[in-house]
Chains A and B, each alone.
Chain A
């Protein structure tokens, strides 16, 4: 397969990402810029950035590959990933923004008033972040290998390096612009070749391999053993997992206020729906002209191989290069978002030796390097779990841990710190156990094996039940300021109300950092 054009495209995407990041850098000065871009990002720009960050290797390459290989049942992935944003919109978007927290551990600290709950959340953010980073790096290695024949580590190091160069200087502010740019690049990269492909296939007389399409297993839903359980487990994990992903949640703090957070999410629903129709079409086209990829075990690369199957000459090369650029943008934006959120948590809770503004930024940079290095090492160490399945497992862990903590924490006064920690332990333990058994290939049979492959349908309800029951049992240990916290989470910002004194930069030893404080905090200060 050819190559020079694709290599140039990948290098161009990396340089363009760095250039856009450097432009944003000029605006990035304070601590609050580093974590949340000082909350001054408009809904349309923010929605592009949210979508750009969310559409990962699994969306760009994995969905088409899975649809090519397994057909209609895999349509639940794009639908679930979009519906996850709808549930995030209706249950958490505005309250989360109004909480004024930067990260999920900040939210745990605010709502549960417990340092133990904060630490447990920090550990989980790091675990989910790494679990999600590994498939991104793996995907980058595979893509470069498919396109150029270079060994996998080349692609992995290339992504790691560009992510570091993007995050280190400017933190969140420069990242926002880069990710917005990546959404439109990914959309264009899938849309343009599609016109050429449809035109070329449409002008052909008769379909040589239409037989591969009219197969009942592929066209009709619920093929295979335990299909109903797997489908519902996938639906639960994707519908409820999105709100618990650390790199998704951190983006909500960059909205101006709760109302803007809702409008941003609505725009995200439109952007994601438009995007997700494209990989589905690639999967279907692949079934017509490249169904041999399934038997060859290379279904994941169908998006990259389609142009050279249908067209030839410089047109095919150019389109392949464009798709390579889009795929690389997908790895870069998702890994960048994950690294920012993991580094944010590491630097707030673990790697911190001073109290000043400069030390804060230095800790953030050190944490970035640590997070990327650990992810690269784990990528080498982990067995070859298929890209989309590793991502599904990360969703299952998020749906079994942060989802119940957020939903109950925001809508139920009764959630206590002890209850939340118990739920995180049960949900996290079960889902992480499933992840480990899958990663290390522990073979289990019967129902246990089925549950271990797709844990969400069991672990999500259990986590909810544990949080509720343990909270009721420890009712006397309810957080002291829960009423005030509820006012903060639910009352619109323009109302002059006492929302408590929580501030993510002041929760422990840290002094106030200069920069724009959130309106929620300002409102408190103006009360007599």
Chain B
């Protein structure tokens, strides 16, 4: 690893260097920031994929298997339950999952920069 801040004490060398690698836009600094972006983007795309393969496929399902649209649960037609209570619960759960994971990713990145 390249030491770019000669005035820093030996003990702090590593702490300073990752942050300054990023500041000075070296290859290494770019690798660090790219790794943070990748982990956050992977998380966001996971949420989008889950949403797309559940809620997003519903219209197609209704179109290919019309019987699903006629099914009733406790007297309420299934599509009405799916597109209200179930959809809102899924959206909130996905949001909660995302916030927790995104904050973990950021904590990992901070630890990396603090040399822990």
B-binding residues in A (CB < 8 A): 72, 75-76, 78-79, 82-83, 85-87, 89-91, 94, 219-222, 227-228, 231-232, 235, 239, 259, 262-263, 265-266, 269-270, 273, 276-277, 280, 411, 483-484, 486-487, 490-492, 494-498, 527
Contacts and interface: CB of A to CB of B under 8 A. Distances in A.
Interface of B: 19, 22-23, 25, 30, 33, 36-37, 40-41, 43-44, 47-48, 51, 55-56, 59-60, 62-63, 66, 69-70, 77, 79-80, 83-85, 87-89, 91-92, 94-96, 98-99, 102-103, 106, 109-110, 113
Of B25, B59, B83, B96, most buried by chain A (CB within 10 Å of CB) is: B59
Contacts of A94: 102
Contacts of A263: 99
Of B23, B37, B70, most buried by chain A (CB within 10 Å of CB) is: B37
A266 B109 CA distance: 22
28 contacts: A78-B84, A79-B84, A82-B87, A82-B88, A83-B87, A85-B95, A87-B51, A89-B95, A89-B98, A90-B47, A90-B102, A219-B77, A220-B70, A220-B77, A221-B59, A222-B59, A222-B66, A228-B59, A235-B59, A262-B103, A263-B99, A269-B92, A273-B91, A276-B88, A277-B84, A491-B36, A492-B106, A498-B23
Given A83-B55, A491-B36, A220 B92 contact: no
Contacts of A83: 51, 55, 87, 91
Given A86-B47, A221-B69, A492-B106, A269 B84 contact: no
Given A90-B43, A496-B19, A222 B88 contact: no
B88 A497 contact: no
Contacts of A270: 92
A79 B85 CA distance: 10
Please list the 4 inter-chain residue pairs (A to B) with the smallest Cβ-Cβ separation, ordered nearest first. A273-B88, A75-B83, A90-B44, A498-B23
Nearest to A486: B33
Given A79-B55, A483-B25, A269 B91 contact: yes
Overall SS of chain B's interface: helix
Contacts of B33: 483, 486-487, 490-491
A90 B83 contact: no
A277 B87 CA distance: 11
Nearest to B67: A220
Nearest to A90: B44
A490 B91 contact: no
A108 to B, nearest CB: 20
Given A75-B84, A276-B88, A495-B113, A232 B41 contact: no
A72 B98 CA distance: 29
Nearest to B25: A483
B30 to A, nearest CB: 6
A490 B40 contact: yes
B79 A411 contact: no
A227 B58 CA distance: 13
A86 B70 contact: no
A269 B95 CA distance: 8
A280 B43 CA distance: 32
Contacts of A497: 19, 22-23
Contacts of A490: 33, 36-37, 40
Nearest to B26: A483
B79 A220 contact: yes
Contacts of B22: 487, 491, 497-498
A222 B37 contact: no
Given A90-B47, A277-B85, 16 more contacts: A72-B80, A75-B79, A79-B84, A82-B88, A86-B47, A86-B94, A89-B95, A220-B69, A221-B59, A262-B99, A266-B92, A269-B92, A486-B33, A491-B36, A492-B110, A498-B23
Contact of A76 (B43, B83, B103): B83
A497 B30 CA distance: 13
